[in-house]
Structures are given as structure tokens and as C-alpha cells.
Amino acid sequence: MYKGASILISEPSDVLASELSAFVREKNFHAISARTMKETLLFLQKQRAHLLILDSSLVEEDCGLISIIKGIDEELPIIICADRNTPEFESDARHQGIFYYHIKSFGIQDLEMAVSNALQKRST
């Protein structure tokens, strides 16, 4: 797993970043926040992230944005975090090549495990 890995957390609020803060510190990761899709894309064009955690509200129902992100960094693992499971949206997101689809009600430990797995896979 990447020590000092950069995790871009894209969400309109700081809820996920706040919930992950202890985990990020414990694992010696570096968290960067973006509040909009525009900020996310601008960051990825200028800098490298090892993982993107993306709130589904920023993608809305257009998974084509995931394709744009993959065009910038094809190997970037993307974890989509959604308030509720929408099978059609999840299917579309998976077809675009996301790493994991996290339902927020599954709890923060589930997301932490997905982050660890994504970074482990990225390091191999």
C-alpha cells in the first residue's frame, strides 16, 4: 500500500473527508478535497492522485464524467459513494471502470476497506 498516498475526496460537503480523517492520518495518507466536478478535473489534470473518492451527487446521473476522468488517468481507482443504491446508476458506473460502489449506509469501515484494497491494487 502507498505510504503517503494522495487521496482526492470529491464531495459537495466535507462529510466523507471528516469521517475518513482518522483513517487517513493513521495510514499516513494525504487527503485533498474538491467540492465540484470542475475542481476535481482541474486537480487531476495538474497533479496525480492515487485514488479518487467521488460522491455520486457530483456525477449526478451522467457516468460519462467517469470516462473523462479515466481519460486523464486510466489506472486511477475510483470509489463512488452513494446515499442509496440505484441499480441502473451503479451498473453504468461499473461499465465506466470504477473500482468500487459504496453505499454510505454500509458504514465507514466498509469504505476504509475499499480504500485499502484500491491502494493495494494500485501498488502492485
Specify the amino acid at residue 106. F
Average pLDDT, the chain: 92
pLDDT at 101: 97
Of the candidates 38, 47, 30, 50, the one whose C-alpha atom is nearest the C-alpha of residue 122 is 50
Structure confidence by residue, pLDDT tens digits, 37-62? 999 999 999 999 999 999 999 987 77
| Strand-strand pairing, 100-103 and 78-82 | parallel
Structure confidence by residue, pLDDT tens digits, 76-103? 999 999 999 889 999 999 999 999 999 9
Split at pLDDT 50, 70, 90, the class of 115 is very high
pLDDT at 121: 84
Supply the DSSP string of 77-111, one letter for each residue. Answer: -EEEEESS--HHHHHHHHHTT-SEEEEGGG-HHHH
**Cell digits of residue 104:** 454510505
* CATH number of the domain located at residue range(s) 6-123 in this protein: 3.40.50.2300
3-state secondary structure of 95: helix
User: pTM for the full model?
Assistant: 0.94
Q: Which residues pair with 9 in a beta bridge?
A: 33, 53
